[in-house]
Amino acid sequence: MDEAKKRIFSAAQPSGNLTLGNYLGALKNWADLQDDFDCIYCVADLHAITVRQDSAELRRRTLETLALYMACGIDPEKVIFFVQSHVPAHAELAWVLGCNTMFGEMSRMTQFKDKSRSHADNVNVGLFTYPVLMAADILLYQTDLVPVGADQKQHIEIARDIAVRFNNNYSPTFVVPEPYILKSSARIMSLAEPERKMSKSDPNKNASVYILDGKDDIIKKFRRAVTDSEACVAADPARPGVYNLVNIYGAVTGKSEREIEESFKGVGYGAFKDAVGEAVADLLAPVQTRYKDILADRAALDRILAEGAEKAAYIARKTLSKVYRKVGFYQIDKKH
Ligand code: TYM
């Protein structure tokens, strides 16, 4: 690891099939950052069980998520990759940070409010303290920047608040992290309800494009995407359906909103939707081919995970020991 480079940490939950939102909002940027930063990426399985998971499926998805990270271009030679439950320091630091986080702060988290509504039969304490665990993930690695989609901004802000409070109450211990959010791809919306974000946990399979969807499905989903009756391609936030398509097309092709409006002037929604579908399918096709090859070599994936966990644990341990010393936990003198 290069000491001069800034540290990046990010993670995704293996709680469903990853979507185009995850790809554009996170994975693609993670790959773009790996040459210029010291990057650590994690599969957040501890977070995933805040919502009930089928055990066999969670196990399978954890490996698939790692394979997908790699298929998106993230290179295990350049970054540290690991599974959150393989590094015990995450759960350990979360306890200490939880004792430095206020009940009121957690109650204000919008994701907690949303998820307690959508999982009313399982409003567990883990769901409530989720942001504390996320703060532990980030702070353990002395992270400078956290590349995420806009939906995670509030969680990064609370991680900053917790870091500042701990540093003030004890003494400087944690780097205070900054969110790193790209405007064009920060918020990819549902194709069925464009006022809501595209989400891997959405039960409506037509609302999300999955990274592993075939070309026909992708085209079909975009054809069905909810728009409006104005039949004019415009980057207008007041028309969320079309705006979302413009946004996606821009994120995929690198074209500006103006360029897109110009090139689709006088063109109906049908042709525009097909153009977006084609562009997305072309973007994802090579990812899908790589994914199949990577997933086929289970032994190689296990080796990458073992090595990643070891490297991550080494860094995490250093921070955790510092924290334990500062809060006053007795440490056995190895000389005795
Ligand atoms: P998760 O698994 O929901 O999503 C992974 C990443 O994808 C981004 N994302 C989106 N970006 C744009 N448009 C969308 N529709 C969209 N949907 C998802 C998310 O913002 C995220 O960057 N709590 C986190 C996982 C996590 C984490 C961390 C992230 C655990 N510990 C520490 C950063 C740092 C989550 O549930 O992401």
Q: How far is the CA of 26 from the centre of ligand 1 (A)?
A: 7
The segment(s) of the chain belonging to CATH 1.10.240.10 are: 215-292
Which of the four pLDDT bands, split at 50, 70 and 90, describes residue 182? confident
- The answer to whether residue 78 is catalytic is no
pLDDT for residue 23 is more than 60: yes
> For residue 195, which of 228, 220, 146, 164 has the smallest C-alpha distance?
228
Q: How far is the CA of 153 from the centre of ligand 1 (A)?
A: 10
CATH of 215-292, one of 1.20.120.430, 1.10.760.10, 3.40.50.300, 1.10.240.10: 1.10.240.10
Cα–Cα dist 316/264, whole Å: 50
Q: Is the CB of 160 under 6 A from ligand 1?
A: no
Which atom of ligand 1 has the smallest separation from the CA of 137? Answer: 32
User: What is the SS3 assignment for 37?
Assistant: coil
Residue nearest atom 4 in ligand 1 by C-alpha distance: 12
Q: How far is the CA of 22 from the centre of ligand 1 (A)?
A: 7
Q: How would you label 281-300 residue by residue, b for 16+ Cβ within 10 Å and e otherwise?
A: bebbeebbebbeebbeeeee
Strand residue runs (E) in 6-139: 7-12, 38-43, 80-83
Q: Which of 5, 6, 153, 197 is catalytic?
A: 197
Which of the four pLDDT bands, split at 50, 70 and 90, describes residue 16? confident
Q: Is the CB of 47 under 6 A from ligand 1?
A: yes
If you average pLDDT over residues 232-261, what whole number do you get? 95
Digit-coded pLDDT (tens) for 273-319 = 999 999 999 999 999 999 999 999 999 999 999 999 999 999 999 99
Q: How far is the CA of 137 from the centre of ligand 1 (A)?
A: 13
Q: Is the CB of 10 under 6 A from ligand 1?
A: yes
pLDDT at 238 (0 to 100)? 95
Which of the four pLDDT bands, split at 50, 70 and 90, describes residue 1? low
Q: Which of 6, 28, 113, 115 is catalytic?
A: 115
Q: How far is the CA of 227 from the centre of ligand 1 (A)?
A: 26
pLDDT at 2 (0 to 100)? 58
Digit-coded pLDDT (tens) for 112-164 = 888 888 888 999 999 999 999 999 999 999 999 999 999 999 999 999 999 99
What average pLDDT does the chain have?
95
The answer to whether the beta carbons of residues 281 and 211 sit under 8 Å apart is no
Counting ligand 1 atoms within 8 A of each CB, the residue from 134, 139, 148 with the most, and so the one to mutate, is 148
Q: How far is the CA of 331 from the centre of ligand 1 (A)?
A: 36
Residue nearest atom 37 in ligand 1 by C-alpha distance: 12
pLDDT at 116 (0 to 100)? 87
Partnered with residue 80 across adjacent β-strands are 40
86: alpha, beta or left, given left = phi > 0 and alpha = psi -120 to 50?
alpha
Residue nearest atom 19 in ligand 1 by C-alpha distance: 149
Cα 87 to Cα 45, 248, 306, 317: the distances in Å are 11, 36, 10, 9
- The answer to whether residue 322 is catalytic is no
pLDDT at 3 (0 to 100)? 65
- The answer to whether residue 197 is catalytic is yes
If you average pLDDT over residues 81-91, what whole number do you get? 98
pLDDT for residue 269 is more than 70: yes
The segment(s) of the chain belonging to CATH 3.40.50.620 are: 7-187+298-327
Which of the four pLDDT bands, split at 50, 70 and 90, describes residue 32? very high
Would you say domain 7-187+298-327 falls under CATH 3.40.50.620? yes
% of the chain residues with pLDDT over 70: 99
pLDDT for residue 36 is more than 90: yes
pLDDT at 21 (0 to 100)? 95
Cβ neighbourhood burial of 171 (10 Å; 0-12, 13-18, 19+): exposed
> For residue 174, which of 138, 148, 129 has the smallest C-alpha distance?
138
The pair of three-digit structure tokens given for residue 111, joined into one six-digit string? 């994701």
If you average pLDDT over residues 192-210, what whole number do you get? 94
Q: Is the CB of 21 under 6 A from ligand 1?
A: yes
% of the chain residues with pLDDT over 90: 91
